C-alpha cells in the first residue's frame, strides 16, 4: 500500500472526533512534503473522500493538487472543485488549519480573476468568510478578497451583507485597510454614503507610520463622499488621524482638496472649471463619476440653503439662484430631493411655485421607534465592547509594563499610580471600587435582587431578629388605602423546613356566592402604565421588543435595590417569601436543575420548558433597550444599566416569580392588561373548575367569589382554560380535576404527496365551509386507525415509568415535591394517551372482517 493510500485511510478513520482530528492534523502536516513530491497524486484521488466528513484531509490534498501553474481548462476544473469544497466543508474541521484554508481560498480568487469571471467566486467566498470566522466581530483575511470580487462582479448587495457587523478584532492592518476601502466603494455603489463615509474614515484615521497607497486612495474618495453626503469639506483631517496622515495626505491629494474648497464656496461654474482642469487626474484614479456626483450634489445643497431663507419660490427663481439652465431642471432637482427625503415641499404646476414645508416626522410611529431602537442597540453594544476592551487592556502585562516605563521616565513620583484606576460615580459619592464588583450573584431565595454584602446582611439579620418589626402585607395595604375586606392572610408550613411557611388568602368570615372578597385600589396595583410612566411607550415596547413580564420584573428588581425606601417593599418582601412557589410548594420547572427536568422525560412539557428558558434569555438581552427608551426608568436609575446591575440568573428568578403571580385583566388598555395585585396570586390559590376572576372595575381590581366559604377557608380563583402543562410551567402546580387538560397531536401533510396542494387547500378550508366531503374505504379507515394506534403506543413508550410505578411513587409521603408534581403531570398525560389508545383499538375491532390488512398508506400525514 502506497503512502498516499495510507494517508487516505488515516483521513477516513480519524475524521470523527476532535481528539482524532488533532492527531490527523499532525499526520497531514508531516506528510505535506511527501504529497508534493508524489507524481501519482491526481484530482481523482479526492473522489475517495467526502468533503463534508473528511474536510481537514480533503483541504490538505486539494491544496497540494491546485498549487502551481495550470492551463485555463484545468483552472476551470479547479475552480469548480474548490467551489464545491467551500460550500460543503465542515467549519469546525477547516478552522483547525485555517491558514491553509485561507491560502486555498485566495488561490481560488486568483484563478477566478484569471478566468475573468469574478461573479463565479462571489458566493463561495461569502460562504468561506462565514465558515472561517470564529466570531462576527473578527476580521478574517478573506473579507477583503470577498469584497474585491463583489466589486468586480458589481454584486454590491452581496458585498454589503458582510459589512453590517461591527469589526472589533483585527490580525493584519492591511486586511483592515482593504476591508474598509473595498467596503466603502461597495457602499458608494449602493448610494449608502453614510456607511461609505464611516468605512473610509476608518482607513484615513487608522494608525500608520507612513502613508500607504490604500489610505491615499481612501482619502480621495473620503473627500468626495463627504461633499455628497454632508455638503461641506474641511481641510483639517480628524484629530485622531496619525501624524503621517496629517502631514502627507493633503499634499498628495491637491486636485481633490481644490474641489472641496471650491465646493464650499457654492459656485457651480468655478467648481466645474476645476473639474475640467483636473479631469485627467480624476479619470486616472477612476473617480471621475464620483466627482460628477459631487458636482450634482452642489445644486442640491444650494437648493437646501434656499429652504432656510424662503417659504415660497418659483422654479425659475430657483434655477437662477443655483445656476441651473432652466425651470425644468430645477423642477427635476426639487422632485428628486423630495423623493429622497432631503426637503419637504409642494410644487404648484399651475404657476410654477414651490412651497417649502416643515419636516412632518413626529417621531411617534412604530417604524421610527424601531429605527431609534436599532441605533440604541448598536450604541449599547459598542459601549459594552469598549468597556470590555478597556478592562482587557488595563490588565494587559505589556501595556502595564509600558505605562510603568513611561511613568518612570517622566518621574511623576509616588502620588501617581502606574496602573489606571476605574471609578464609578454614585451621585455625590466617588468610589474606587469597579462597578462590576457590585453585581453579586443571588441566592435561590433572593429572587428579585443580588445578595447583600456581608456587612449589610449582618445588619439586616439583626433587624429581622427583633421580632420582625417591619409591616406585614395586609397592614401595609390597609395603611395605603385598602377598603375593608373579608379576607386575611394565613400560613401553612413549607415542605422544606429551611423555607419560611407559605402565606395564603383565606376568608375572614363566612362568605356567600356573589360576595366581594376584596377590592384592591389601582394605587396598589403594579402595571406597565405605572412602570414606564407612559401608556404609549408601554404599548410600543411590549408590541415590538419586550414582554410585559420582563418589564414588570425589571421594575421590581430596581425597586428592591432601594430596600425599605421603596414604596413596594412589603409587597416585594412577600414575593420573596413565596419564591414563586405554587400551592403544591413547587417552583416552575424553569428553575429546576437538569437532573430534575429528567422527571419530565417523555412529556412535551420538557421541550416547552427549554424553549421558554431560551425566550427569557432573549428578553434579558433587550433589557438595556427598555431602560433607555422608558424615560421613567432611566431617570430613576441613571447609573444602573440593567445587564450590569443584574445577572441573567437573577433576572430569570425574578421573571419566574412575576410569571407566577401576574394577573391578566380583561377589558382594559394594553398598558394595564398585565397586573401585579397584592392579595392576588400567589397568595390567592388557582383552581381550574372555579369561575371567580380578578376583575378590573372603576379605580380598583376586585374578586367576587363564585361559591360559599366558611371563615378560615382558602379563597380560590380561576386561572383561565389552561392545560396542566401550562399550569406547571407558569405556576408550579398540577390540577387533577382540570377540565381543560389536553394533549396535543400535530399532523403534517407529506410534501411528497402528489395531491399535497389539494389536501392543503382542503385543510385550510376546514371549518369555514358548511360541509366537507371525504371519500373513505374500509382499507383507508384501518390505515388511519393503525397509524393513530402506533402513534399512541410510541408516545406511551417514551415515558420511563408505567402508570403503576407512578402510583407507587405518589404513595410515598417523603417524595421530593418537584418529583411529585412532575409525576402527577406525566401520569395524567399517560392516562389520556392510554384512553385514546383504547378508543382507537375499539374502533379497529368494530371494522368489518373484509377489511384489507395491512393497508398501504404511502402519503399518510406525519404525527408528532
Q: Are residues 332 and 372 in the same domain?
A: no
pLDDT, residue 518, reads 92
Averaged pLDDT, 299-318: 86
Q: Specify whether the CB–CB gap between 525 and 663 falls below 8 A.
A: no
Q: CB within 8 A of 441, min separation 6: which ones?
A: 450, 451, 647, 649, 650
Averaged pLDDT, 685-696: 86
pLDDT, residue 690, reads 87
Lowest mean per-residue pLDDT among 340-354, 384-398, 514-528: 384-398
pLDDT, residue 436, reads 32
Tell me whether residue 246 is in a domain: no
Instruction: Single out the residue of 305, 223, 284 nearest to residue 257, CA to CA.
Output: 223
pLDDT, residue 108, reads 92
Per-residue b or e along 668-682, where b marks 16 or more CB atoms closer than 10 Å to that residue's CB: beebbbbbbbbbbbb
Tell me whether residue 237 is in a domain: no
Of the chain, the percentage scoring pLDDT greater than 90 comes to 23
Beta bridge partners of 503: 491
Q: Specify whether the CB–CB gap between 181 and 148 falls below 8 A.
A: no
**What confidence tier does 144 reach under pLDDT thresholds 50, 70, 90?**
very high
pLDDT, residue 842, reads 87
Averaged pLDDT, 479-495: 86
With a cut of 60, say whether residue 311 has pLDDT above it: yes
Averaged pLDDT, 168-196: 91
Q: Are residues 341 and 485 in the same domain?
A: no
Averaged pLDDT, 823-830: 91
Averaged pLDDT, 450-457: 40
Of 541 and 323, the structure prediction assigns the larger pLDDT to 323
Q: Specify whether the CB–CB gap between 619 and 769 falls below 8 A.
A: no
Tell me whether residue 15 is in a domain: yes
How many angstroms separate the Cα of 859 from the Cα of each of 755, 756, 856? 9, 9, 9
The predicted model scores a pTM of: 0.49
CATH of the domain at 751: 3.90.1420.10
**What confidence tier does 221 reach under pLDDT thresholds 50, 70, 90?**
very high
Lowest mean per-residue pLDDT among 201-205, 312-316, 827-831, 843-847: 843-847
pLDDT, residue 687, reads 83
Q: Are residues 336 and 382 in the same domain?
A: no
pLDDT, residue 492, reads 82
Structural domain span for residue 374: 366-421+429-438
One DSSP character per residue, 558-603 reads HHHHTGGGSTTHHHHHHHHHHTT--TTS---GGGS-HHHHGGGTTS
pLDDT, residue 560, reads 85
Q: Are residues 411 and 490 in the same domain?
A: no
As for how many domains the chain has, the answer is: 5
Neighbours of 490 (CB within 10 A): 17
Q: CB within 8 A of 520, min separation 6: which ones?
A: 477, 482, 677, 678, 679, 680, 700, 701, 702
Rg (CA), the chain: 36
Q: Are residues 380 and 494 in the same domain?
A: no
Tell me whether residue 275 is in a domain: no
pLDDT tens for residues 699-714? 899 999 999 999 999 9
pLDDT tens for residues 114-137? 989 999 999 999 999 999 998 888
Averaged pLDDT, 656-682: 85
**What confidence tier does 537 reach under pLDDT thresholds 50, 70, 90?**
low
pLDDT tens for residues 408-440? 433 333 333 333 333 333 333 333 333 333 232
Averaged pLDDT, 31-40: 77
One DSSP character per residue, 244-272 reads HHHHHTTGGGHHHHHHHHHHHHT-HHHHH
Q: Are residues 379 and 489 in the same domain?
A: no
Domain termination site, one of 117, 143, 171: 171
Q: Are residues 638 and 701 in the same domain?
A: yes
Q: Are residues 545 and 649 in the same domain?
A: yes
Rounded CA gap, 210 and 248, in Å?
9
Q: Are residues 30 and 85 in the same domain?
A: yes
pLDDT, residue 729, reads 86
Rounded CA gap, 862 and 749, in Å?
6
Averaged pLDDT, 723-739: 86
pLDDT tens for residues 62-101? 888 888 777 878 888 889 999 999 999 999 999 999 999 9
pLDDT, residue 447, reads 45
pLDDT tens for residues 381-412? 888 888 888 777 777 777 666 655 544 433 33
With a cut of 70, say whether residue 743 has pLDDT above it: yes
Rounded CA gap, 156 and 186, in Å?
5
pLDDT tens for residues 43-59? 777 888 888 888 999 99
Per-residue b or e along 166-192, where b marks 16 or more CB atoms closer than 10 Å to that residue's CB: ebbebeeeebbbbbbbbbbbbbbbeeb
**What confidence tier does 685 reach under pLDDT thresholds 50, 70, 90?**
confident
Q: Are residues 710 and 617 in the same domain?
A: yes
**What confidence tier does 300 reach under pLDDT thresholds 50, 70, 90?**
confident
Q: Are residues 710 and 765 in the same domain?
A: no
**What confidence tier does 365 reach under pLDDT thresholds 50, 70, 90?**
confident
How many angstroms separate the Cα of 779 from the Cα of each of 481, 762, 792, 848, 849? 71, 22, 20, 10, 11
Tell me whether residue 215 is in a domain: no
What's the chain's length in residues? 864
Instruction: Single out the residue of 432, 409, 408 nearest to residue 420, CA to CA.
Output: 432
Rounded to 5 degrees, φ, ψ at 705 are -75, 150
Tell me whether residue 203 is in a domain: no
Rounded to 5 degrees, φ, ψ at 527 are -130, 170
**What confidence tier does 519 reach under pLDDT thresholds 50, 70, 90?**
very high
With a cut of 90, say whether residue 769 has pLDDT above it: no
Of 221 and 813, the structure prediction assigns the larger pLDDT to 221
Rounded CA gap, 50 and 398, in Å?
45
pLDDT, residue 446, reads 43
Tell me whether residue 274 is in a domain: no
**What confidence tier does 256 reach under pLDDT thresholds 50, 70, 90?**
very high
Tell me whether residue 48 is in a domain: yes
Arithmetic mean of pLDDT over the chain:
80
Rounded CA gap, 607 and 615, in Å?
12
Averaged pLDDT, 337-359: 85
With a cut of 80, say whether residue 763 has pLDDT above it: no
With a cut of 80, say whether residue 626 has pLDDT above it: no
Q: Are residues 583 and 712 in the same domain?
A: yes
pLDDT, residue 496, reads 67
With a cut of 70, say whether residue 534 has pLDDT above it: no
Amino acid at each position: 500500500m502506497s503512502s498516499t493510500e495510507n494517508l487516505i485511510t488515516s483521513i477516513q478513520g480519524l475524521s470523527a472526533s476532535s481528539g482524532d482530528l488533532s492527531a490527523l492534523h499532525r499526520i497531514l502536516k508531516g506528510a505535506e512534503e511527501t504529497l508534493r513530491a508524489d507524481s501519482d497524486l491526481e484530482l481523482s484521488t479526492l473522489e475517495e473522500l467526502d468533503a463534508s466528513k473528511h474536510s481537514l484531509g480533503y483541504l490538505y490534498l486539494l491544496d497540494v493538487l491546485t498549487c502551481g501553474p495550470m492551463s485555463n481548462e484545468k483552472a476551470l476544473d479547479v475552480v469548480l472543485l474548490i467551489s464545491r469544497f467551500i460550500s460543503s466543508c465542515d467549519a469546525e474541521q477547516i478552522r483547525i488549519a485555517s491558514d491553509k484554508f485561507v491560502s486555498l481560498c485566495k488561490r481560488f480568487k486568483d484563478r477566478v480573476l484569471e478566468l475573468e469571471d469574478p461573479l463565479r467566486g462571489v458566493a463561495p467566498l461569502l460562504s468561506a468568510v462565514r465558515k472561517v470566522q470564529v466570531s462576527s466581530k473578527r476580521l478574517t483575511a478573506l473579507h477583503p478578497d470577498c469584497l474585491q470580487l463583489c466589486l468586480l462582479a458589481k454584486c454590491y448587495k452581496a458585498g454589503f451583507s458582510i459589512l453590517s457587523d461591527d469589526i472589533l478584532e483585527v490580525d493584519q492592518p492591511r486586511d483592515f485597510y482593504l476591508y474598509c476601502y473595498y467596503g466603502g466603494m461597495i457602499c458608494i455603489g449602493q448610494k449608502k454614503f453614510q456607511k461609505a463615509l464611516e468605512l473610509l474614515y476608518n482607513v484615513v484615521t487608522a494608525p500608520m507610520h507612513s502613508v500607504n497607497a490604500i489610505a491615499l486612495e481612501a482619502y480621495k474618495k473620503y473627500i468626495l463622499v463627504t461633499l455628497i453626503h454632508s455638503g461641506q469639506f474641511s481641510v483639517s483631517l480628524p484629530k485622531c488621524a496619525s501624524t503621517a496622515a496629517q502631514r502627507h495626505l493633503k499634499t498628495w491629494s491637491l486636485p481633490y482638496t481644490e474641489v472641496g474648497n471650491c465646493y464650499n464656496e457654492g459656485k457651480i461654474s468655478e467648481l466645474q472649471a476645476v473639474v475640467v482642469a483636473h479631469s485627467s487626474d480624476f479619470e486616472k484614479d477612476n473617480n471621475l463619476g464620483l466627482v460628477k456626483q459631487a458636482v450634482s450634489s452642489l445644486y442640491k445643497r444650494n437648493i437646501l440653503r434656499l429652504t432656510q431663507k424662503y417659504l415660497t419660490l418659483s422654479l425659475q427663481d430657483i434655477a437662477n439662484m443655483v445656476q441651473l439652465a432652466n425651470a425644468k431642471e430645477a423642477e427635476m432637482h426639487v422632485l428628486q430631493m423630495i423623493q429622497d427625503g432631503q426637503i419637504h415641499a409642494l410644487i404648484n404646476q399651475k404657476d410654477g411655485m414651490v412651497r417649502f414645508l416643515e419636516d412632518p416626522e413626529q417621531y411617534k410611529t412604530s417604524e421610527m421607534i424601531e429605527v431609534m431602537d436599532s441605533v440604541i442597540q448598536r450604541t449599547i453594544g459598542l459601549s459594552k465592547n469598549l468597556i470590555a476592551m478597556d478592562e482587557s487592556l488595563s490588565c494587559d502585562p505589556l501595556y502595564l509594563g509600558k505605562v510603568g516605563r513611561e511613568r518612570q521616565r517622566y518621574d511623576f513620583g509616588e502620588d501617581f499610580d502606574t496602573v489606571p484606576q476605574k471609578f464609578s460615580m454614585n451621585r455625590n459619592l466617588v468610589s474606587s471600587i469597579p462597578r462590576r464588583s457590585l453585581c453579586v450573584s443571588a441566592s435561590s431565595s433572593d429572587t428579585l435582587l443580588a445578595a447583600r454584602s456581608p456587612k449589610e446582611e449582618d445588619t439586616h439579620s439583626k433587624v429581622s431578629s427583633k421580632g420582625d418589626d417591619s409591616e406585614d402585607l395586609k397592614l401595609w395595604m390597609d395603611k395605603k388605602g385598602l377598603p375593608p375586606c373579608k379576607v386575611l392572610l394565613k400560613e401553612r408550613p413549607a415542605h422544606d423546613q429551611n423555607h419560611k411557611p407559605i402565606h395564603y388568602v383565606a376568608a375572614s368570615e363566612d362568605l356567600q356566592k356573589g360576595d366581594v372578597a376584596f377590592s384592591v385600589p389601582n394605587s396598589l396595583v403594579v402595571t406597565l402604565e405605572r412602570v414606564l410612566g407612559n401608556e404609549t411607550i408601554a404599548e410600543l415596547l411590549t408590541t415590538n421588543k419586550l414582554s410585559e413580564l420582563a418589564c414588570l420584573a425589571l421594575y421590581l428588581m430596581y425597586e428592591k435595590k432601594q430596600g425599605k425606601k421603596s414604596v413596594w417593599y412589603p409587597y416585594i418582601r412577600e414575593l420573596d417569601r413565596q419564591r414563586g412557589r405554587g400551592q403544591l410548594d413547587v417552583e416552575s420547572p424553569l428553575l429546576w436543575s437538569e437532573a430534575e427536568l429528567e422527571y419530565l422525560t417523555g412529556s412535551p412539557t420538557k421541550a416547552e420548558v427549554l424553549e421558554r428558558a431560551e425566550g427569557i434569555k432573549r428578553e434579558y438581552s433587550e433589557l438595556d433597550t427598555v431602560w433607555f427608551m422608558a424615560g421613567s426608568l432611566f431617570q430613576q436609575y441613571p447609573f444602573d444599566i440593567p445587564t450590569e446591575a443584574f445577572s441573567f440568573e437573577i433576572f430569570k428568578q425574578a421573571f419566574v416569580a412575576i410569571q407566577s403571580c401576574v394577573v391578566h385583566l380583561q377589558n382594559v388598555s394594553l398598558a394595564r392588561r398585565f397586573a401585579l395585585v397584592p392579595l392576588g396570586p400567589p397568595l390567592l390559590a388557582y383552581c381550574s373548575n372555579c369561575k371567580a376572576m380578578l376583575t378590573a372595575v372603576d379605580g380598583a381590581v376586585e374578586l367576587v367569589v363564585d361559591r360559599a366559604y366558611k371563615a378560615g377557608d382558602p379563597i380560590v380563583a380561576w386561572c383561565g382554560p389552561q392545560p396542566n402543562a401550562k399550569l406547571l410551567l407558569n405556576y408550579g402546580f398540577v390540577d387533577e380535576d382540570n377540565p381543560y387538560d389536553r394533549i396535543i397531536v400535530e399532523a403534517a401533510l407529506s410534501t411528497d404527496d402528489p395531491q399535497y396542494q389539494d389536501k392543503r387547500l382542503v385543510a385550510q378550508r376546514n371549518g369555514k365551509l358548511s360541509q366537507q366531503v371525504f371519500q373513505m374505504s374500509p382499507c383507508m379507515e384501518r390505515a388511519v386507525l393503525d397509524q393513530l394506534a402506533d402513534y399512541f403506543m410510541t408516545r406511551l413508550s417514551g415515558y420511563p415509568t408505567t402508570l403503576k410505578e407512578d402510583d407507587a411513587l405518589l404513595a410515598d409521603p417523603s417524595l421530593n415535591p418537584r418529583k411529585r408534581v412532575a409525576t402527577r403531570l406525566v401520569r395524567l398525560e399517560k392516562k389520556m394517551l392510554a384512553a385514546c389508545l383504547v378508543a382507537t383499538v375499539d374502533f379497529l375491532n368494530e371494522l368489518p372482517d373484509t377489511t384489507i390488512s395491512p393497508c398501504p398508506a404511502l402519503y399518510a400525514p406525519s404525527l408528532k
